[in-house]
Amino acid sequence: MPRYAHRVWPALLLVSGLAVDASAQAPTLSDETAAEPRSVERVAFDWDRSVESLRVLDLDGREIDAEVEAREASGRISLSVPSQAPFVVKGDEVETRRLTSEERQVLPGGLFLPATSATDEVIIPPGLGISPLPPLPPRPSTWLRLTVVASPAPATWNPLNGSYHTRLSFGVYPSDDQHFSPDQPLEQPIEIRVRLRGLTTREVVPPLLIEAPGLANEQSLMLDFMPSTATPTLEVNSTLSDVNLALEALPRLEVRPQSTSMVGLGLARMAINVEQVSPHGEPLRATRPTRVAVTVAGPATPDPSELRIEPDASMASLELRSSGLAPLTVSAVAGSLRGEATIQQRVPWGPILAALLGGALGGFGRRFVKGAPKAPTPLRLLEGIIVALIAYVAGVLGVGYLALPMAVVATEAGAFLSGALSGFIGVNVLERLQAKLSPQAG
């Protein structure tokens, strides 16, 4: 036995050393019990409704209310962030916002982006000729909120196309713009769809797509619309927010002529009503005396050139007298309210033809007068037409400059009688002139 002792002792020492090393590395039960659990990030935000009205969804539209453990305290809501996946916060009811000014409005709801840690540098095998990308810096948690700006607000009336005009600019802005670069594109673009309620537009409203936050990436929507109700509303649906936007518009003046055309050359008068109306067309009674300035672009004269809408009334009237044949544009302005209408002036073909026909009959009737010199019938007709035409032009000038009765040349009956009389008398005058000139020529 003593001779094998020198072989056994080294083996015993090796086994003992391994046992001591294993016992030093193995955790004890007390160490496992003392380990702290992994902390879960919680975020808090203002919320003016109950926690039951809160909806939390992932980007696929799946509700994750149970996972975020929503809590309410002092008018604020806190949520736990179970993972690094973004999620959307919305309400179960669609809120209505009124666009009464040109200030930027932050719409309800938003997209929460959890914090991310720094990524390691990507190792690329040598020989590919590709330089490795630098590691991405860590990103703190932030909110992305959808905003809207209306300009002008309230919307203004455009009398040229007969509609209200405004521009809506939608954008996405982070709550922490110091750590979130505006040039950083979103993982998923924000799509915005708009539906109309209580208004009509000249063109179909297209969907908008926002690919990155910041002012440079805002998307604008040009609206030329006409309200059909007292509360025209845009129903906005997007990934970040569902909201109703109630548009505000200014009242306007409606210029209502009796007709869109009138006889020109100063031969017609037309009554025009100017009425103050709400954006959707209902009469709007004045609360105080309102002065309305009337201007006419074109050859015509308004009477009077300034109107007055009395309290508890919505309308005033004027009379417009034509002059010339060019189109007319009648404009009415009262403070910030305005309106206009276009009136076409036309040639009085009816009275002109009636006057020529009357002149022809008057000249032809001269041949039946006893003692009248004999002349070919076509000559009598031609002489009557020429004299009637000259008399008609003189009558038109007389109405404009000598205040002759307008009915003499403005109506078919008056023009016919004037033409017949001038044709009959005018042919007689031509005969006398011809008789005096004949002896002198002989």
Nearest to 247 by CA among 189, 290, 205: 205
168-175: average pLDDT: 91
Spatial separation of the C-alpha atoms in residues 199 and 207, rounded to whole Å? 18
- 26-78 confidence digits (pLDDT tens): 444 344 434 444 445 677 777 777 778 888 888 788 888 888 888 887 777 77
Q: Which residues contact 224 (CB under 8 A, 6 or more apart)?
A: 158, 161, 163, 164, 165, 201, 202, 203
Question: 126 pLDDT exceeds 90?
Answer: no
* Neighbour tally for 105: CB within 10 Å: 17
Q: Has residue 8 got a pLDDT over 50? A: no
Mean pLDDT of the region 289-295: 96
Q: Which CATH class is domain 94-117+140-248?
A: mainly beta
Q: What are the tokens at 388?
A: 């009637």
Q: Quick one: pLDDT at residue 1?
A: 41
Q: Using 50, 70 and 90 to split pLDDT, how confident is the model at 137?
A: low
Contact 298, 329 (CB under 8 A): yes
| Contact (Cβ atoms closer than 8 angstroms) between residue 287 and residue 277 | no
Please state, in angstroms and rounded to a whole number, the distance separating the CA atoms of residues 191 and 210: 6
Strands 110-113 and 87-91: antiparallel
Q: For residues 340 and 97, what is the distance between their CA atoms, to the nearest angstrom?
A: 32
* pLDDT value at 119 more than 60: no
Q: What was the pLDDT predicted at 440?
A: 59
pLDDT at 167 over 70: yes
**Tens-digit pLDDT profile for residues 193-242:** 999 999 999 899 999 999 988 888 999 999 999 999 999 999 999 988 99
Burial, 35: exposed, middle or buried (Cβ in 10 Å; 0-12, 13-18, 19+)? exposed
Question: Burial level of 167, CB count in 10 A (0-12/13-18/19+)?
Answer: middle
pLDDT band with cut points at 50, 70 and 90 for residue 128: low
Output the average pLDDT for the chain. 83
Q: Phi and psi dihedrals of 397, rounded to 5?
A: -65, -35
Contact (Cβ atoms closer than 8 angstroms) between residue 157 and residue 338: yes
Residue range(s) in the chain whose domain bears CATH number 2.60.40.10: 252-346
Does position 97 have pLDDT exceeding 90, yes or no? yes
Report the pLDDT value the prediction gives residue 65, as an integer from 0 to 100: 80
For residue range 325-342, list pLDDT tens digits in order: 999 999 999 998 999 999
Neighbours of 171 (CB within 10 A): 21
Q: Which strands form 328-334's sheet, in the order they lie side by side?
A: 261-263, 337-346, 328-334, 290-297, 306-309
Q: Residue 426: what pLDDT?
A: 84
Share of the chain above pLDDT 90, in %: 48
CA distance 198 to 180: 39
The better pLDDT of the pair 161, 66 is held by 161
pLDDT in tens, 340-356: 999 999 999 999 999 99
* CATH class, 252-346 region: mainly beta
Residue range 366-412, pLDDT digits in tens:
777 776 777 788 888 898 999 999 999 988 888 877 777 888 889 99
Q: Considering the chain, what percentage of its residues have pLDDT values greater than 70?
A: 80
Judge residue 363's burial from the number of C-beta atoms within 10 Å of its C-beta, 0-12 exposed, 13-18 middle, 19 or more buried. buried
Distances (CA, A) of 144 to 11, 109, 168, 175, 273: 68, 9, 19, 6, 52
The pLDDT, as a whole number, for residue 3 is 46
21 compared with 162, residue with greater pLDDT: 162
109 φψ region: left (φ > 0), alpha (ψ -120 to 50), beta (else)? left
Please give the angle made by the CA atoms of 65, 85 and 93, to the nearest 5 degrees.
35
Residue 7 has pLDDT above 50, yes or no: no
For residue 302, the model assigns a pLDDT of: 95
Collapsing DSSP to helix, strand or coil, 324 comes out as coil
> Tokens for 398?
């007389």
Answering whether pTM is above 0.75, one says no
Among residues 114, 211, 205, 210, which one has the least CA distance to residue 167?
A: 205
Q: Is the pLDDT of residue 441 over 60?
A: no
Q: What is the pLDDT of residue 221?
A: 96
φ, ψ (nearest 5 deg) of residue 148: -145, 145
* Three-state SS letters, 223-279: EEEEECCCCCEEEEEECCCEEEEEECECCEEEEEECCCEEECCCCCEEEEEEEEECC
| End-to-end alpha carbon distance in the chain | 186
Give the model's pLDDT for residue 133. 60
Mean pLDDT of 97-120: 83
The tokens for 116 are: 């991310």
Residue partners of 46: CB distance under 8 A and separation at least 6: 75, 76, 77
